[in-house]
Structure 1
Amino acid sequence: MQANANKQSPFLIKAPLILIGLYLFFYFLFLLKEILVPFAFAGLIAILLNPLCNRLERLRIPKVWAISLSLLLAALVLAGLFYFLSAQISQFGELIPTLKTRSQELMGELQQWVALKLGISMEKQTDMLHKLTDNGQQYLGHTLGSIFGVLGVFFLLPVYTFLLLLYKNQLVNFIYESFGSEHKEHVQDVLQSTKGAIQSYIAGLLIETAIIAVLNSIALLILGVKYAILLGTIGAILNLIPYIGGLIAIALPVMIATVTNDNFTTPLLIVGVYLLIQFIDNHLIVPKVVASKVSINALISIVVVLMGGALWGVSGMFLSIPFVAILKIIFDHIDGLKPWGKLLGDNNPGNLIKSNHKKE
């Protein structure tokens, strides 16, 4: 009995320590989000721009100038995108009074239908709407705060990205020295494989976003939805947030079409077309463009997106999937952590069971 108690005591001691450590880790991540969020975005951008910097350096351009030119090119691409969408954004502001009037008409018709069919009085519906409006304003304020936090990130992004690219050799040498000279070859192999996979993954996400933006915009233009390019591009960006972003991406054009049209045919067609685009994205674009070896299963995707949103708001929702994908890449290259990589992956459990059965 005493021997069994001694065997169980280490686990009983380790489990609370692990939970306390995890709590403190996430608590510090929450406290330092103003510093860590721009640093995390800068890390992804630095990884993406690193091949361009290396190519410019091979052309005998000084390192500082190579980094500056890479950042300038990235800034020009973003500026071109914002300029392209700015005209539609300004026109969208002109439609707001019309949208408000039409929304009030539709809401009045809906309230009358509810009072007639469900027996809920207009006064009770009004009270319920006021409560929902108050909660919605609080959530909107939190969301806008997160969005302004994201905008604030852009002032620090160039500085962080520049410094990460400038001191990348020191950071790599620090990793080598941390693991010792006897593990240098293995660490080098892990770093090279991880860097290449991350670069291809992030580049694949950008290409996927561009393709989805084009498909969304074409579909909305054919259906005659106003601000099709703006809504299509926003939907493609939201598509980076698994499942949750896709639902919001569908809701936005449906809402605009419902308010600006007298029939419900167009909103239904939008839902159908967007579901078709989602099917094409999941079964054709993602397997071909985004590296399948870093695909994350649906359960993990939903959990980490919700955790990222609770931890860092909108920024956390966007960052959660790329960073879990990076963790999966690292896990897949380290023998002791490969089971965790399989847990995060999107392998079909049925296929795994069949393959294991055949081996036996």
Structure 2
Amino acid sequence: MPRASANPGRSSTTTMRFDRLAYVLICLCIVLYTLYAGSSFFIPIAFGLFFSLMLKPICYRFEVLINSRIFSVVLTLFTAGVVVLGVLLFFFNQIQAILTEADDIYSGLQETFYEWAEYGGGRFGISGEEVEAYIDEAITSVSDQPLGILSTGLSTSGVLLANFSLVMIYTFFFLLYRGAMKNFVLGQLRNSDQTEGLETLNEIQQVAKSYLGGMGLVMLILGVLNSLGLFFIGIDYYLVWGFLAAILAVVPYIGTVIGGLLPFVFAIATTESIWQPLAVVLLYATVQFVEGNFITPKVLGSSVKLNALAAIMSVILGSIFWGLPGVIIAIPFLAIVRIILTHIEPLRPVALLLSDDLYEQSDRFLDEYNEPKYRLSNIFSGKSSLSLFRKRRSPHHPTKRVSKSNSQVVSDSEPD
């Protein structure tokens, strides 16, 4: 009899776990489908929110000087717009100059490929007519490939570009109402969790701020290295090709390949020696190696703190859901998710699974996190709570609650 009574209990526990798991999976599928189907609606909101997080420090500086939030937000967006417009005008003028030489570039590309292919065809006994037919087909595919990649990327990001004004409107209102929105988020937490929630929001703000400055510094370093290398190789418009590749580096892995392919094709079309195109390939491969192993880890590693596997998977998922805009925003979004997970005690092992020091701290899974409260199965059985946990503090310094009287001041204060 006791044995028979034990089985129903175990069965009910198992059923409850599968019920909770099914509920979570159904909700997750609904959220993911909504984000996918409503991409035209959510992409401008996501970029507006992220831009507001990045521009908040600049807006805060203006607020200190002007003492008016509305004018500070307007000045912030105006300053950012001037910088972006200046960069776009520079590239537009330079690319327009390159397009005026399009016929010469195409004929130079065709001539170079004829020489290479005829030399190779003679080695393998291929006739001149066959070589010419093959060259015409190869020239068309090679010349169209970079433009095809760019046009695909532009069409994929068309939602973002077409709604750029909407993104700016969202950014304006997110900056204007940031205090009220932060207070709303804190108000949804229990009083005991509000201080921890405030720390979480401040860390998210710091990540966005560091990502903006870090990416700007990485682009500047890459642009200088690429431009100097192309200058010494003897490639025309070296500033355009160098900084274009640096800007495209915001798209992880893919952007660098496209940024190096364009000057490579240009070098084939405009130079007479074979060493210059090969030098371009060697240059971009070297810069990519230095950037991936030294520059980005040193500049962005302290803010993003994501391992390579998590970054690659986030980029792929971002491209599946939102195309090129998803690829751009995937890594900072995952960095924000990792911060939130570190403040939810049962999910701290998942945060460690995403972190950049996963290899060095792999023993923590069977040491610090080898307890029932850290097992994901306990979440679905109802034994673990997903509320924010408070860090251990000295008994002489009790945790401060975010009360009604000081919530606005705390929310609007600039984090250190």
Q: TM-score interval w.r.t. the shorter chain? A: 0.7 to 0.9
Match of 2:94 in 1: 88
User: For residue 36 of structure 2, what is the aligned residue in structure 1?
Assistant: 30
- Tell me, in whole angstroms, the C-alpha distance in 1 between the residues paired with 2:87 and 2:150: 26
Q: 1-side partners of 2:248 and 2:148: how far apart? A: 22
The answer on 1:227 being equivalent to 2:237 is yes
Distance, in Å, in 1 between the alignment partners of 2:64 and 2:339 is 28
User: How many aligned positions are there?
Assistant: 358
Give, in whole Å, the separation in 1 of the partners of 2:324 and 2:108.
Answer: 30
Give the AA of the match of 1:303.
M
Kindly indicate whether residue 109 of structure 2 is the aligned counterpart of residue 103 of structure 1.
yes
Q: Please tell me whether the aligned partners of residues 196 and 343 of structure 2 are also in contact (alpha carbons under 8 angstroms).
A: no
Residue 202 of structure 1: aligned partner: 212
What does 1:56-71 correspond to in 2, within 5 Å? 56-71=62-77
CA displacement at 1:211 relative to structure 2 = 1.7
Please say if 1:143 is aligned against 2:143. Answer: no
Structure 2, unaligned runs of 5 or more? 371-416
Q: Could you tell which deviates more after superposition, 80-89 or 104-113?
A: 104-113
Q: Give TM-score scaled by structure 2 length.
A: 0.75
What residue in structure 1 maps to residue 56 of structure 2? 50
Q: What is the CA–CA distance in structure 2 between the aligned matches of 1:90 and 1:185, rounded to whole Å?
A: 54
Counterpart contact for 2:53–2:209, Cα < 8 Å: yes
Q: Which is worse superposed, 194-203 or 281-290? A: 281-290
Structure 1 unaligned residues grouped into runs of 5+: none
Shift of 1:123: 11
Superposed CA offset, 1:37-57 (max 9, x none):
222222222112212222222
Whose helix proportion is higher, 1 or 2? 1
Cα deviations by residue, 1:16-60 (Å, 9 ceiling, x for unpaired)? 544443333222112221122222222222112212222222234
Indicate the SS of the match to 2:163: helix
> In 2, distance between residues paired with 1:304 and 1:157?
22
Structure 2 counterpart of 1:181, which letter? N
- What is the percentage of aligned positions where both structures have the same residue? 28
Q: TM-score of the superposition, structure 1-length normalised?
A: 0.85
Q: Could you tell me which residue of structure 1 aligns to residue 203 of structure 2? A: 193
Q: Compute the displacement of 1:127 (Å).
A: 12
Inter-partner Cα distance in structure 2 for 1:324 and 1:138: 29
Does the Cα contact within 8 Å between 1:294 and 1:329 map onto a contact in 2? no
Whether contact under 8 Å (1:215, 1:277) holds in the other structure is: yes
> Is the alpha carbon distance of 1:168 and 1:358 closer, same or farther for their aligned partners in structure 2, counting shifts above 3 Å?
closer
Does the alignment pair 1:338 with 2:348? yes
Structure 1: distance between partners of 2:23 and 2:136? 48
Q: Distance in 1 between matches of 2:267 and 2:139?
A: 25
Instruction: Using the TM superposition, give the Cα deviation of residue 106 of structure 1 relative to its aligned residue in structure 2, in angstroms.
Output: 4.6
Q: SS at 2:188's partner residue? A: helix
Cα deviations across residues 179-210 of structure 1 (Å, max 9, x unaligned)?
13232111112222222233122221122112
**Contact 2:113 2:135 (C-alpha < 8 Å) held by counterparts:** no
Cα deviation digits, residues 86-112 of structure 1 (max 9, x gap): 331111111222222233345555666
Structure 1 residue 295: Cα displacement: 2.7
User: Once the two structures are superposed, what CA deviation does each residue of 1:115-150 show, in whole Å capped at 9, x if it has no partner?
Assistant: 9749897799699979979x9798776434224433
Query: Matched residues in 2 for 1:317 and 1:118: separation?
Result: 46
Q: Alignment RMSD, CA only?
A: 3.4
Pair 1:214–1:333, CA change in 2 (3 A): farther
Q: Which moved more, 1:176-185 or 1:9-18?
A: 9-18
